[in-house]
Structure 1
Amino acid sequence: MFAPARRRCAHSIAKSSAHSTDLLPSFLLPALSRPAASRTFTTTAPCQSKIGSAPLSVPSGVTFRVIAPSTKGRGSRVQAMSTVEIKGPLGELSMEVPHYVNINQDAALGGPTLTIQDSTDAKQKAMWGTTRAYLQNHILGVSEGHSAILRFVGVGFRASVENSATTVESEYPGQKFVNLKVGYSHPVELGIPKGVTASTPQPTRLLLEGPEKEVVMQFAANIKKWRKPEPYKGKGIFVNGETIKLKNKKIK
């Protein structure tokens, strides 16, 4: 910001120096004639994540297939996306991959490896690791499955799995419902999403299992919203190893 002013001052000093040498002290002339150097806030190199370049781990019994995109019926401005189909003992999942993400299935690489077209594009670099993480979660889901354990902490707090509900309607045939008793005067009934199984090993424990991690954790979040953990008595619904720091009671 001060560089133009310095150049103008130095230029005027240089023009008038032939007529007078007593305008400024001599120790100020080098500072005014020197161009302003750009400063950086840090000297450390940025640490780039290596998740996107890591090969996918595909266990035995799981098939990983990439379907080429189809341009039929698409506009010229729409980039077609390829589809990845993953089949395993617990089910089948599919996912669309952005057009700038390439999947190399060379056996010498140790597993399917993802690359991007432009390594300088911020969006492509961000989606590189995200796409790889989603694919690895799908592989783990169809082979071992994902789970979430909900703990009900509070007097009378408990959950049960019912075959029918009175307050909500079923969305698909054979749907089961989770019945929550968490301090409300009315029953709280939630339909279990398709592909997710729920069980209650204890009245205060609810186990959710399913091949798709996003669906399992989203359903767990929907259950938690009915009684979020509060910091004074420590009551509420906790997901997995979640804890809360207790506060002192307010004294008036």
Structure 2
Amino acid sequence: MSFSIPQRCARQLLREPFQRGSLPIFLAPAFSPRTQCFSTTTPAQSRVGGAAISIPPEVSFNLVDLPAGLSRTRGKDIPKFAAEIKGPKGEMTLNIPSFVTITRDEAGQKATLAVQDQSVPHQRAMWGTIRALLQNHILGVSEGHVCILSMVGVGYRATVEDKATTVEPTYPGQKFISLKVGFSHPIELGIPKGVQASTPQPTRILLEGVDKRIVTQFAAEIREWRRPEPYKGKGIFVNGETIKLKAKKIK
């Protein structure tokens, strides 16, 4: 048996103080204006944005001013300066929002980020995001980012070719990855600029690059041709990816 109260009466009960006899006792907690949290632990926010960034000795980290009117952004904030990061592997540039402040420690080879107002949700969210992007850029120009793809399946293999028959090159000297993953024809994918690909084994693809976003995006495009399936465990796995196998469907 269910007990319901019309919406008009429920709103009136919420406005008026609870009186004896005005509402059944078992409905009092549901209509009480006091909110109660389900969690018993104290909410804790991430402190990633305030963590210091270590800068290796071989990496050059400089802040340069951006010319007025030349910086393009989708949001309302207009970056006023950018971070130029150079290392043995290459160089990268990242526009810094105007509400983010970067403090350099030349002696300790570290950099610390801060925002103008931590109570603003957008600034608090971008605080950790900008810090993570800077850390990825520093790691990319010093050591590089790596993605390892494993191909599991009968006859699955990959090779790196200098030319392709189904894809046109987008820049001079572009190489292509040829995948044989169960189709009647090989799949040819152009390697993006700034990414080096190799096949140490016929069923292994090694991607290296300075920009983590480009490397992982290209790895996702390769994986999309044969996503791991949970019944036989076949597919293309990225960086030691594992899946839980399911029992076979029996009709």
Q: CA deviation at 1:37?
A: 6.5
Q: CA deviation at 1:72?
A: 4.5
* Structure 2 counterparts to residues 6-45 of structure 1, below 5 A: 6=17, 38-41=34-37, 42=39, 44-45=41-42
Q: CA deviation at 1:110?
A: 5.4
Distance 1:74 1:205 in 2: 41
Report the structure number with the largest CA radius of gyration. 1
What SS class does the counterpart of residue 218 from structure 2 fall into? helix
Q: CA deviation at 1:40?
A: 3.2
Q: So what's the TM-score if we normalise by structure 2?
A: 0.84
1:47 partnered with 2:58: no
What SS class does the counterpart of residue 148 from structure 1 fall into? strand
Q: CA deviation at 1:109?
A: 6.8
Distance 1:192 1:40 in 2: 54
Aligned residues: 226
Match of 1:248 in 2: 247
CA contact (8 A) 1:70 1:80 kept: no
The worse-fitting range, judged by mean Cα deviation, of 135-144 and 78-87 is 78-87
Distance 2:51 2:215 in 1: 25
RMSD: 2.2
Match of 1:21 in 2: none
Give 2:64's match in structure 1, choosing from 59, 62, 67: 67
Match of 2:105 in 1: 106
Unaligned runs of 5+ in 2: 1-10, 22-31
What SS class does the counterpart of residue 6 from structure 1 fall into? coil
Q: CA deviation at 1:111?
A: 0.9
CA contact (8 A) 2:68 2:80 kept: no
Q: So what's the TM-score if we normalise by structure 1?
A: 0.83
CA contact (8 A) 2:77 2:97 kept: no
What SS class does the counterpart of residue 82 from structure 2 fall into? strand
Structure 1 residues 183 and 3, CA gap change in structure 2 (3 angstroms) = closer
What SS class does the counterpart of residue 169 from structure 2 fall into? coil
Percent sequence identity is 56
